[in-house]
Chains A and B, each alone.
Chain A
Amino acid sequence: MSTMTTVPPTPIDLSGSRRRHRRERVVRTFFRVAGLSSLAISIAIVASLVGDSLTFLNNIDLSSLWTEPHRWAPRVGKFDLLTVFMGSLLVTGIAMIVAIPLGLGAAFYLAEYASARVRRILKPVLEVLAGIPSIVLGFFAVAWIGPNIVQNIWTDASAFSIAAAGIGVGFLVTPLVASVSEDSMRAVPTALREASYGMGARKITTVTRVVFPAAISGIVAAIILATARAIGETMVVLLAAGSFAEADYTTSVSNVGLTVTAAMASLATGTDQVAGGGGSGAGQAFNSLFFLGLLLFGVTLVLNVVGDLFVRRIRESY
């Protein structure tokens, strides 16, 4: 009987003090609340956009969203969406024409050709370019790209043009294209390359026929994410594209123009809050800011979701 005196510890003895439990609960609650903050931010974004957008749409004549001739002039109630979206399309198009070859070329070289030492030095340098604030590239677009590139191609262009803004945005998103696609190329298993060399393939064949198809989803993701970034870019366009509060519809890249983002920023800078001249919904200039924001949010959200699907495909395949 006396051998039974050593009782094994009960679960209560093992569970620790009550103070530790209480602290555990407090910490858990704190983390949970923090985790929900991101959801709260998204809801706040949508709520702040939708409410004022509805006010805007209720108070204007819907025909002022599509005026003839096309012109964006919120002060007189001309909210022609085609004008600003064409501006965004042109700027984004030029940006991608610049960024895709530069970014992919740099990524291919760093991932496949460069020696480990060169990559160790050059990759951080490219990442530094990614850290340059967009306002600085805006200044660069006006001070250097406009006079030295755009005016050499279109002799009649001024220092401010859609092309200058587009090239500036292109330089801005090049590091994004380069780093995301380089990551996806480096994620391609070395075994695939070795198998290709083992078949007697040359380097160029290996890179273009083996590595490129294997990394394609990451490369597509890089391009989509860069496109979303280019559409949302504000400061370069505001400084370099030359238009401010008002703009005419144009499809010529050597003209001055306005994008969705630049229109939003110039709406916010103050003077347009004052209700201007005639036309229906002239007093709604400030609220059009929210409507444009909602459209922009929708476009970038779709691009980001699609880009995200592609990014996750690389993770799944290897």
Chain B
Amino acid sequence: MTAADVTVPQRITVARALRGRRIDFWGLLFETMLLVALLACLAIIVLLMWEVVNDGSGVYADRGFVLSQWPDQIGATISEVFDFVVDPIGVPGWIFSIAFVLLLPLGIYAAFRKSWKIGLLVVGLLVGALVFAGLIQTSDFLSAPLSRFPERAGIGQAIFGSLVLAAIVILVAMPLGIATAVYLEEYAPENRFTNVVRLNIRNLAGVPSVVYGILGLAVFVQLMGTDIATIPVVGGLLQDIFGESGITGGKTILAGGLTLSVVVLPIVIVTASESIRAVPQALREGGYGVGATKWEVQRTLVLPNAFSGILTGTILSVSRAIGETAPLILVGAFYGTFFTTGSSSFWDKFSTTYTALPQVVYQWAAEPSQEFRISLTAAAIMALLVVTLIANMAAILLRNHFENRW
């Protein structure tokens, strides 16, 4: 007998004992249940999209951009494009103007830094805005004003309102949020007060948006608007400067945009803080080592390296702002005529009633008539989803692309 003859059966016994039962029934069942839960989540998305597209696509088939008519329309469309660029009175012209204003700082930055990449990006985004505006121009449903008649009702005013709100959010929440994040991560001393501020921001992120609506109503509509004279000490002076209706003018798009800015501010702060924290300490120390001041380190090292994360947070927050309804209801987004004549002056457009996409969806969904309640609502939701989902996907892809870089 050799040693090998003895060890072989022993090895088999050991292996069999370790292997356990062949089919792990409960394990399989558990795994299947988990898979079912995951698939159910995905099924919800598919069902939701199917329901919306199923109900809403008819409107676009009738009154959307009809592709078969395009060859005849190209000449007219090109002239319209130039019309609305030169004479920004219609909704598409406004869209282009807003895009232009928002991209201007980036364009100046590109020229200043002689960066071809950013310059190309700006030109690309401008062309994109032009195409987007042109698309809206060719679709009756997307450019028509609100109407009592379902066959004539469109969401042009709502798209305009949502874009202006988004622009205000970008202009207010982004600088304020990034500055707060920089302060908390880089400047603030480590003491109890800073911790209180941090805890406070995390809690603000969880406050229901309807509560922010009350804040907007009390602060932006009443205190900074119609009741401006009641501000202690400087109230009378402010009223003399800004007039009877105050800084915001009451229930205007400015008050709505400021309210939405406050809603998304915690999101901007939290995401920007995270990306600033992810910048390695060695980079900062290198900067200080060559004699840079704190602000120079921030400007040249920390912020450029945290840029992608900050951009992600901004995109997510703008997408959230575009879809947010409850605060707008409270601060008086209005279902009604807005921006119909085009003859009113620049400031008149910002000091009258306004509406936004989610507000129109809400109003139409509550209408008794089937056409409004199902078809038009779903069509408006399609427009809303295209914007928010593209923004979300862009943000998520951007984040995944830059994740774990260090």
B110 CB to nearest A CB, Å:
23
The 10 closest A-B pairs by CB, nearest first: A105-B37, A232-B208, A133-B323, A48-B218, A34-B179, A131-B392, A35-B183, A304-B206, A31-B183, A234-B326
B40 surroundings in chain A (CB, below 8 A): 102, 105
Q: Give Cα A124–Cα B385 distance, bound, in whole angstroms.
A: 16
- Residues from chain A with a CB closer than 8 A to the CB of B381 are 135-136, 139
Contact indicator per residue, chain B 23-59, by CB within 8 Å of chain A (1) or not (0): 0101100110111111011101101100110010000
Known: A32-B187, A42-B200, A135-B358. A106 touches B38 (CB 8 A): yes
Whether B24 contacts A204 by the Cβ 8 Å rule is: yes
Interface of B is mostly: helix
Identity of the chain A residue whose Cβ is nearest the Cβ of B18 in the assembled complex: A200
Question: What's the Cα separation between A133 and B219 when bound, in Å?
Answer: 25
Q: Please give, as numbers and ranges, the residues of chain B lying within 8 Å of A208 by CB-CB distance.
A: 30
Report which A residues bind B (CB closer than 8 A).
14, 16, 20-21, 23-24, 27-28, 30-32, 34-39, 41-42, 44-45, 47-49, 51-52, 101-106, 108-110, 113-114, 120, 122, 124-140, 142-144, 171, 174-175, 178, 200, 202-204, 207-208, 225, 228-229, 231-235, 238-239, 261, 264-265, 268-269, 289-290, 293, 296-297, 300-301, 303-305, 307-308
If A203-B27, A232-B207, A304-B206 touch, whether A174 touches B41 (CB-CB below 8 Å) is yes
Chain B residues with Cβ below 8 Å from A175 are 41
B217's partner among A114, A203, A231, A268 (CB-CB below 8 A) is A268
Asked if residues B325 and A235 are in contact (CB atoms below 8 Å), the reply is yes
B361 within 8 A of A: yes
Given contacts A133-B325, A136-B48, A143-B51, contact A124 B396 (CB under 8 A): yes
At the interface, yes or no: B226 with Cβ under 8 Å from chain A?
no
Minimum CB–CB distance for B201 against chain A, Å: 5
Q: Given A34-B179, A232-B210, A235-B362, do A125 and B377 touch, yes or no (CB 8 Å)?
A: no
Taking CB atoms and an 8 Å cut-off, the chain B residues in 191-220 that contact chain A are 196-197, 199-204, 206-215, 217-219
Q: Residue B180 at the A interface, CB < 8 A?
A: yes
Q: By the criterion CB–CB under 8 Å, are A34 and B326 in contact? A: no
Q: Can you list 18 A-B contacts (CB < 8 A)?
A: A20-B296, A23-B295, A24-B295, A31-B179, A31-B183, A38-B180, A39-B200, A41-B262, A105-B38, A122-B38, A126-B42, A131-B319, A136-B48, A136-B323, A140-B48, A297-B207, A301-B203, A304-B206
0 or 1 for each of B268-300: is its CB under 8 Å from A? (1 = yes): 010000000000000000000001011110100
* Given A232-B207, A261-B210: A38 and B35 interface contact (C-beta under 8 Å): no
CB-defined contacts of B169 to chain A, threshold 8 Å: none
B291 neighbours in A (Cβ, 8 Å): 14, 16
Contacting pair A293 B392 (CB below 8 A)? no
Contacts of B48 in A (CB 8 A): 132, 136-137, 140, 144
Q: Tell me, yes or no, whether B188 is within 8 Å of chain A by CB.
A: yes
Write the B98-136 contact mask toward A (1 if CB under 8 angstroms, else 0): 000000000000000000000000000000000000000
B262 contacts across to A, CB distance below 8 A: 41
Measured between C-beta atoms, what is the minimum distance from A32 to chain B in Å? 6
* Candidates B31, B207, B293, B396; contact of A45 at CB < 8 Å: B207
Q: In the complex the two chains form, is A128's CB within 8 Å of B215's CB? A: no
Q: Is the CB of A128 within 8 A of B393?
A: yes
On chain A, the residues within 8 Å of B140 by CB distance are: none
In the complex, chain B residues whose CB is within 8 Å of the CB of A132? 48, 323, 385, 388-389
Q: Which residue of chain B is the closest to A45 with respect to CB atoms?
A: B215
Distance in angstroms from B161 CB to nearest chain A CB is 15
- Rounded to whole angstroms, the CA-CA distance of A301 and B381 in the bound complex is 32
CA A268 – CA B362 in complex, angstroms? 14
B366 within 8 A of A: yes
Q: A52-B218, A139-B381 are in contact. Are A35 and B188 (CB under 8 A)?
A: yes
Q: Is A202 a contact of B325 with CB atoms below 8 Å?
A: no
Contact: B208 with A265, CB < 8 Å?
A: no
Q: Are A265 and B204 within 8 A (Cβ)? A: no
CA distance A103 to B324 in the complex (A): 23
B45 touches A128 (CB 8 A): yes
Q: Evaluate contact between A110 and B38: CB separation under 8 angstroms.
A: yes
| Residues of chain A lying within 8 A (CB to CB) of residue B358 | 133, 135, 235
Closest to A268 in B: B330
- Kindly state whether residue B384 has any CB partner on chain A within 8 Å: yes
Q: Do A48 and B377 contact each other (CB < 8 Å), given the known contacts A38-B269, A301-B203?
A: no
User: B329 an interface residue at 8 Å Cβ cutoff?
Assistant: yes
B215 CB, min distance to chain A CBs, angstroms: 5
Within the assembled complex, what's the spacing in Å between the Cα atoms of A293 and B217?
A: 12
- B184 at the A interface (CB under 8 A): yes
Contact of B323 with A129 in the complex, beta carbons under 8 Å: no
Least CB distance from A96 to B in Å reads: 15
Distance in angstroms between the alpha carbons of A130 and B384 in the assembled complex:
15
Cα A181 to Cα B27 with chains together (Å): 21
B176 at the interface (CB under 8 A from A): yes
Contact of A239 among B55, B219, B362 (CB under 8 A): B362
Please, how many angstroms separate the alpha-carbon atoms of A301 and B51 in the complex? 36
Contact of A265 with B31 in the complex, beta carbons under 8 Å:
no
Contact A124 B393 (CB under 8 A): yes
Known: A233-B208, A308-B199. A265 touches B183 (CB 8 A): no
Are the C-beta atoms of A34 and B176 separated by less than 8 Å? yes
B374 within 8 A of A: yes
7 other A-B residue contacts (CB within 8 Å) besides A134-B326, A308-B199:
A44-B219, A45-B215, A132-B323, A136-B385, A175-B41, A229-B208, A304-B207
Do the beta carbons of B326 and A140 come within 8 Å of each other? no
The listed residue (B52, B217, B265) touching A41 by CB distance below 8 A is B265
B31 touches A228 (CB 8 A): no
